[in-house]
């Protein structure tokens, strides 16, 4: 199978690398320099809890160099989804399936509409990874990958990809309720990610602090009210406990939103907390705590996005500051 990874940062590189260990697969990474240049020169180095390996893969910075593919793994940030799929549209037009491994809500519908194709699969992942240097990715956490599709005609292909990922060492489960899977992961992200990003703390440090645990609970409960109104079946009976359990189990992880702020990049707050707030307003459900953390994250990121030359230290809130800010909601 020819597999193209669009958005070969940390997670995309990780999946692409191990998929290349299957003899029948040909994997091409599409990413940005200097990461792509380093891979072409020295191979892709994977370190961390999955061991140390060097993978010699084809890597390019422009998808137009690729003429055909069987599967596209889209692992970009949510806000880069449209540019990425537009760049790969010629591959989908020739019959490629596209598997979105992303955070947030709604991207599969957006992709299906934009491409006018139902060959769209969706996945969530609890894998953790950091791109520590160009050409080097450190695996920081191993967790479940769940795959499904909103389009039943793709079920056979979902099973094929699930088996392939299992074969190369990932913990994978296929799901007929991918909407519930995505929402369950989003509830975790809406609780843990903003709190970690605002305080600069790892998931484990958030979990260990009783006041921060209380904030996570508050954020998740508001989002659960939205889920109930939408009639979505989650994959857990206790989403609050599940979110806290995830924080504990991934204690060493620096969540992706905090990684983005540390790297002075745009966060995915719009596709996570922003979507919860938007849907809440449509349904007449109040989400005051989510609105506060959304505003705080947007304020932080807007400062460095508006003035990229400003390299002043990013101010993380201490626990008391954050708790006091949210105590009025």
Contact 99/19 with Cβ under 8 angstroms?
no
Of 185, 228, 248, 281, the catalytic one is 185
Helix (H, G, I), strand (E, B) or coil at 288: helix
Contact 212/206 with Cβ under 8 angstroms?
yes
142: buried, middle or exposed (CB in 10 Å: 19+, 13-18, 0-12)?
A: middle
Contact 283/222 with Cβ under 8 angstroms?
no
Local structure of residue 96 (DSSP, 8 states): -
E strands of 159-223, at which residues?
A: 172-174
Question: Residue 183 to residues 80, 170, 178, 254, 276: CA-CA distances in angstroms?
Answer: 20, 22, 8, 21, 10
Q: Examine the residue annotation and report whether 185 is marked as an active-site residue of this protein.
A: yes
Tokens 């800010």, residue? 325
Task: Please give the positions annotated as active site.
Answer: 185
């Amino acid at each position: 199978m020819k597999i193209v990874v669009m958005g070969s940062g940390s997670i995309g590189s990780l999946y692409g690398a191990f998929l290349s260990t299957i003899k029948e697969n040909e994997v091409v990474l599409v990413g940005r320099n200097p990461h792509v240049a380093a891979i072409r020169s020295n191979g892709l180095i994977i370190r961390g809890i999955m061991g140390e390996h060097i993978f010699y893969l084809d890597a390019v910075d422009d998808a137009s160099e690729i003429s055909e593919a069987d599967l596209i793994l889209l692992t970009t940030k949510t806000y880069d989804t449209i540019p990425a799929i537009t760049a790969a549209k010629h591959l989908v037009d020739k019959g490629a399936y596209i598997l979105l491994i992303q955070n947030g809500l709604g991207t599969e519908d957006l992709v299906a509409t934009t491409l006018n194709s139902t060959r769209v699969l969706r996945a969530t992942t609890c894998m953790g990874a950091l791109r520590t240097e160009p050409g080097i990715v450190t695996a920081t956490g191993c967790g479940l990958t769940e795959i499904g599709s909103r389009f039943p005609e793709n079920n056979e292909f979902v099973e094929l990809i699930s088996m392939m990922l299992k074969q190369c060492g990932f913990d994978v489960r296929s799901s007929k309720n991918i909407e519930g899977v995505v929402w369950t992961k989003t509830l975790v992200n809406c609780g843990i990610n903003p709190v970690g990003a605002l305080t600069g703390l790892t998931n484990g440090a958030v979990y260990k602090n009783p006041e921060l645990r209380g904030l996570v609970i508050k954020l998740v409960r508001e989002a659960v009210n939205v889920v109930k109104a939408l009639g979505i079946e989650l994959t857990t009976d206790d989403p609050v406990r599940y979110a806290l359990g995830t924080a504990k189990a991934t204690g060493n992880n620096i969540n992706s939103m905090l990684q983005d702020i540390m790297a002075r990049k745009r966060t995915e707050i719009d596709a996570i907390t922003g979507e919860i707030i938007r849907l809440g307003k449509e349904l007449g459900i109040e989400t005051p705590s989510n609105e506060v953390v959304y505003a705080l994250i947007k304020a932080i990121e807007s400062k460095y996005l508006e003035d990229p030359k400003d390299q002043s230290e990013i101010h993380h809130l201490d626990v008391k500051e954050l708790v006091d800010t949210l105590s009025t909601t």
